[in-house]
Amino acid sequence: MCKEKAQNRIDYIVLQKPSEAAKIVEKYGYEAPPKVIELVKSVKMLVKRKGEPVIKDLINIHPEKKLILEVSGHKSDESNYCGCHSAYSGEVKELLDKLSELSVEDLTKLYDDTKKQSKEKPEDKELMAQVETVWDELKRRKKQTEKIEKKQENGVWLKVAVGVIVGIVIGKALS
pLDDT tens digits for 1-56? Answer: 444 455 788 888 999 999 999 999 999 888 999 999 999 999 999 998 888 889 88
43 touches 58 (CB < 8 A): yes
Three-class secondary structure of residue 103 per DSSP: coil
DSSP code of 31? P
Give the model's pLDDT for residue 80: 43
pLDDT in tens, 77-86: 444 444 444 4
Confidence class for position 73, pLDDT limits 50, 70, 90: low
Q: What is the pLDDT of residue 41?
A: 92
- pLDDT score at 102: 75
Q: What is the pLDDT of residue 18?
A: 93
d(CA 41, CA 34): 12
Q: In terms of C-beta distances under 8 Å and separation of at least 24 residues, what long-range contacts does 43-47 make, across chains too?
A: 43/10, 43/14, 44/10, 47/10, 47/88
Q: Which residue has the higher pLDDT, 122 or 32?
A: 32
Highest mean pLDDT among 85-94, 114-123, 138-147: 114-123
CA 85 → CA 9, 92, 162, 173, distances in Å?
Answer: 9, 11, 55, 71
* pTM summary value: 0.42
Q: What pLDDT does 160 receive? A: 84
pLDDT of residue 97: 63
Structural contact between residues 28 and 36, judged by C-beta atoms closer than 8 angstroms: no
For residues 28 and 38, what is the distance between their CA atoms, to the nearest angstrom?
16
